[in-house]
Amino acid sequence: MEEKTEIMTPKLLPIKRWENHFSYPSLGTLRYLALRRKENGFDACLSKINGRLYINPEKFFIWAQEQK
């Protein structure tokens, strides 16, 4: 029986670790979007846990698609 190996992306990533998993957008762009999250709707992608911002990659790419 073959084992299926997948690379799993975490459900929540600290913003600082985004670039370890994805090349787009840059860390600076993410920080800018997070700073203006109430204005641009980016808060749908973010969770604040113990004062740190975490991003949900799945929700981010859905949000990015909707920004067309």
Summarised one tens digit per residue, pLDDT across range 5-60 is 555 656 899 999 999 999 989 999 999 999 999 999 999 999 999 999 999 999 99
Choose between 4 and 33: higher pLDDT. Answer: 33
Choose between 51 and 3: higher pLDDT. Answer: 51
**Burial class of residue 45 (count of CB atoms within 10 Å of its CB; 0-12, 13-18, 19+):** buried
Query: pTM (2 decimals)?
Result: 0.76
Quote the CA–CA distance of 20 and 1 in Å, as a whole number. 32
What pLDDT, on the 0 to 100 scale, is given for residue 16? Answer: 92
